[in-house]
Amino acid sequence: MKGLESLIGQRFDKLEVVEQAASTASGQRRWLCKCDCGGSCIATTGNLHSGRTTNCGCRKSPDLTGRIFGKLTVLGRSDQRNARGSRTTPMWECRCTCGAITYKATDTLKNSATSMCSTCAGKYAAESARRAAGFVGGTQITKIRDMKPAAANTSGVRGVYYEKKSNKWRARLRFKGKTMSFGSYARFEDAVCARKNAEKVYFGAFLEENGLE
Ligand SMILES: [Zn+2]
Ligand SMILES: [Zn+2]
């Protein structure tokens, strides 16, 4: 019976079990736990009982609240998690200089030279690629106007692809015969947002400069 007990409501150090989560592939039961820091995590019965999992991961990560990374100011820990293979990492709630709220993992903040929200990242990437690419010829206006998802697309949104290897959504844009990447995102809607912004910057300016809009 021990193996089937419900842990809901039980406390393990900083964690309180909220509900049962999907079991592991090998059948180990897992639980969604709320951490005292406001974060959350999913842990197996075994790891909770043995004390291997005692917090959401916040003990290992120093508090970044108030710190500034690029355009982002960290507002505090969030209960959002970033999927990374079989485990998830806690994310920080950040405010971008444009006012948008975005969620970033600790190492993303620390390792990225330019931290910003996906909207600003889309603009930034588009602008630098545009500068690098110059701005003549190659782009088919009819294709810009007829922006249906390509047949081989898996997401239903043109230029947004799911990459199995990284478990992420990638935003791309083909412009003037070149395919440009606008980042990879855990959340589908962030990739769509990046793609849309790239479209605005590229195609909008292109149509305008060519007197087509
Ligand atoms: Zn925590
Ligand atoms: Zn922004």
Ligand 1 centroid–CA 178 distance in Å is 44
Ligand 1 centroid–CA 140 distance in Å is 51
Higher pLDDT among residues 12 and 151, named by residue: 12
H runs (alpha helix) in the chain: 45-50, 106-111, 118-133, 141-145, 188-199, 205-209
Ligand 1 centroid–CA 75 distance in Å is 15
Ligand 2 centroid–CA 46 distance in Å is 41
Quote the pLDDT of residue 152. 53
Compute the distance between CA of residue 207 and CA of residue 65 in angstroms, rounded to an integer.
43
Nearest to 209 by CA among 130, 107, 135, 102: 135
Is it the case that residue 103 has pLDDT exceeding 80? yes
Higher pLDDT among residues 55 and 178, named by residue: 55
Of the pLDDT bands very low, low, confident and very high (cuts 50, 70, 90), residue 139 is low
Ligand 1 centroid–CA 28 distance in Å is 23
Ligand 2 centroid–CA 55 distance in Å is 31
The full set of domain ranges for the chain reads: 2-50, 68-111, 118-209
Calculated CA dihedral for residues 84, 180, 131, 107, nearest 10 degrees: 10
Of the pLDDT bands very low, low, confident and very high (cuts 50, 70, 90), residue 74 is very high
Quote the pLDDT of residue 40. 78
Of the pLDDT bands very low, low, confident and very high (cuts 50, 70, 90), residue 78 is confident
Ligand 2 centroid–CA 183 distance in Å is 15
Mean pLDDT of 24-32: 91
Mean pLDDT of 33-54: 89
Quote the pLDDT of residue 61. 72
Nearest ligand to the C-alpha atom of residue 95: 2
Nearest ligand to the C-alpha atom of residue 72: 2
Ligand 2 centroid–CA 97 distance in Å is 6
- Cα→Cα distances 45→37, 39, 75, 113, 132, Å: 21, 19, 32, 39, 53
Ligand 2 centroid–CA 190 distance in Å is 12
pTM: 0.45
Q: Which residues surround ligand 1, an ion (CB under 5 A)?
A: 35, 37, 39, 55-56, 58
Percent of the chain at pLDDT exceeding 90: 25
Min mean pLDDT across 68-72, 94-98, 199-203 is at 199-203
Ligand 1 centroid–CA 41 distance in Å is 8
